[in-house]
Structure 1
Amino acid sequence: MPKQVDYLLPGGRHGVLLIHGLTGTPAEMRFVAKGLNRRGYTVYAMQLAGHCGSVEDLLATGWRDWAASVREAAAKLGAQVDKLFLGGLSMGALLALNYALEQPDSVHGLALYGTTFRYDGWAVPAIAKLSFLLPWVVPLGIGRKRSFTEVFPYGLRDERMRNRIVGAMFGEDSSAAGLPGNPWPSLAELYRLARHVRARLPQIHTPALVVHATEDDVASLRNARVVMDHLAGPSELLELPESYHMVTLDGERERVIEGSAGFFQRVLRGESTQHAGMPLQHLRAVGAD
């Protein structure tokens, strides 16, 4: 059975629900959680169904189970706060978008960290870049016991942090840093979720901050472009030139915290943000120092 490792940091009447990624753990959100909590937010770093346990635990769940986890966690946090924001990393960003699609009146803003519609980063092996085919391959009985193992640089540019995370990842406790590989059936579920959300982006009017590494090794900046180009609501881009995929843990994590807190405050003050349809190259200036 998965170990329960979610955590709640009590604060004020504005809350932030943080959603980790596929095969990940709430621990990957800890710096952002503590940073936002220091700024007065009540923060809940939730745990997705099937995560923080064995591969078998994960394989027993799919994207609809993960979405149900988000709804349950949002209801738990929403009962304690007046305004609710969601922040998600990688697949967690997709789940945050999905929640805004399902419950548009319940969420006031989104922080999307390394949004992943497709594994197309510069470090993804060629065979893994074909993983978008898995929703059609897995139902045929192909690859049910296979997985793509994480590869260098493991989403982290910061060498010291990378060594810590990799050591924990390849240890025996998946609750510390997640599983070291992505099972094919679970990746197929991610792509089903991605397809579901991407087709419905024009229906999402919730303000969004899109945070993405310029040189994301897992999910290229094209994933951010999809969000910026198709969201119906106002959006901003914070581009990180010195980070890789795990922006909540990497060297620019303070910029992630400051950017998120500043964006939430602008939403609360009712200030307008950049429109999603503006050219990506223009929006890069939003995250400039």
Structure 2
Amino acid sequence: MSSSAPVRPEAQPFSHDGDGLGFLLSHGFTGSPASMTPWGRHLADQGHTVRVPRLPGHGTHWKEMNRTGWQDWYAEVERALVELNDRCDRVVVAGLSMGGCLGLRLAQQHPDKVDGLVLVNPAVASSRFDVKLVPLLQHVVPAMPGIGNDIKKPGADEYGYDKTPLTALASMLRMWAEVRGDLAAVRAPLLFFRSNDDHVVDPSSRDLILGGVSSAVIDDVPLLDSYHVATLDNDAPTIFARTDQFVAEHVGAARDA
């Protein structure tokens, strides 16, 4: 592998300039913008402004992820959030899996810039024994088997990595701890999607998030026909439609409230 592997064509970021309602969509750990771009195109088709960034170390080669950490990923979504706020009147942040954790961090750090939060199978914890060993394992092996493409719908592909880089994973675990410790700072209206059959994120994250945030509006929506990458799965139309409805009902006057 070269020092800088090329970005896969399917993993390119997506951007659309539209009206004063902006959406920042973040993909998950070892995934790529491909998992969020269909959602982004749906929003763009309605005339909205959309950013789907590629997180550093993603969309190239898994070894590159071990050269990045959560501060790098967060800096990328933070940059996009600031840029959206400069051009839009309202901004909604949406995230899948680790992207949901990044969204929570944005809502904690920039409450005045996040008017709504949409989380799809977000992760802030894990009960898996091997994950608890990662701080030690990262010094022994560079990677574990991949977690990507947990999708029920045949033929769907998030164009992620087939390995889980452990130095990067250890960094994500540190981010989880930071975010868990400040969940009460999250006050934005929250739309929470959860797949009943998720092979990547266990129920502990849902309980921690919904029990910890201070959001006055929380809409908890079960997804009955999708696995982890629900944004590409059978329930994607439900996610898109419920987000439209939620934003129309709860985001319009968020900053004026």
TM-score normalised to the size of structure 2? 0.89
> Separation in 1 of the partners of 2:129 and 2:219?
28
2:74 maps to 67
> Separation in 1 of the partners of 2:180 and 2:173?
10
> Separation in 2 of the partners of 1:199 and 1:181?
29
Question: Is the 2:147–2:200 Cα contact (8 Å) retained in structure 1?
Answer: no
> Separation in 2 of the partners of 1:129 and 1:37?
41
- Structure 1 pair 19–181 and aligned structure 2 pair: CA distance change class (3 A): same
Moved over 3 A (4+): none
Alignment of 1:78-227 (within 5 A): 78-119=85-126, 129-135=129-135, 137-138=136-137, 141-143=139-141, 145-150=142-147, 154-161=149-156, 165=157, 177-227=159-209
> Separation in 1 of the partners of 2:27 and 2:102?
9
Question: Is the 1:214–1:239 Cα contact (8 Å) retained in structure 2?
Answer: yes
> Separation in 2 of the partners of 1:248 and 1:147?
24
Which of 220, 229, 242 lines up with 1:246 in the alignment? 229
Report the 3-state secondary structure (helix = DSSP H, G, I; strand = E; otherwise coil) of the residue aligned with 2:119.
strand
Q: What stretches of structure 1 of length at least 5 have no aligned partner? A: 121-127, 166-175, 272-289
Which of 30, 43, 56 lines up with 1:49 in the alignment? 56
> Separation in 1 of the partners of 2:163 and 2:79?
27
The RMSD of aligned alpha carbons is 1.9
Question: Is the 1:147–1:183 Cα contact (8 Å) retained in structure 2?
Answer: yes
Instruction: Name the count of aligned residue pairs.
Output: 246
Deviation string for 1:59-83 (max 9, x for gaps)? Answer: 1110011111111111222222111
Report the 3-state secondary structure (helix = DSSP H, G, I; strand = E; otherwise coil) of the residue aligned with 1:23.
coil
Question: Is the 2:126–2:205 Cα contact (8 Å) retained in structure 1?
Answer: no
Superposition deviation, residue 224 in structure 1: 1.6
1:236 maps to 219
Superposition deviation, residue 265 in structure 1: 1.3
Task: State, as a whole percentage, how many aligned pairs show the same letter.
Answer: 26
Alignment of 1:241-280 (within 5 A): 241-270=224-253
Deviation string for 1:70-121 (max 9, x for gaps)? Answer: 111112222221111100110000001001111111110110111112345x
Return the letter of the residue paired with 2:145: F
Question: Is the 1:39–1:261 Cα contact (8 Å) retained in structure 2?
Answer: no
Q: What stretches of structure 2 of length at least 5 have no aligned partner? A: none
Return the letter of the residue paired with 2:183: L
> Separation in 1 of the partners of 2:165 and 2:34?
21
Report the 3-state secondary structure (helix = DSSP H, G, I; strand = E; otherwise coil) of the residue aligned with 1:79.
helix
1:287 maps to none
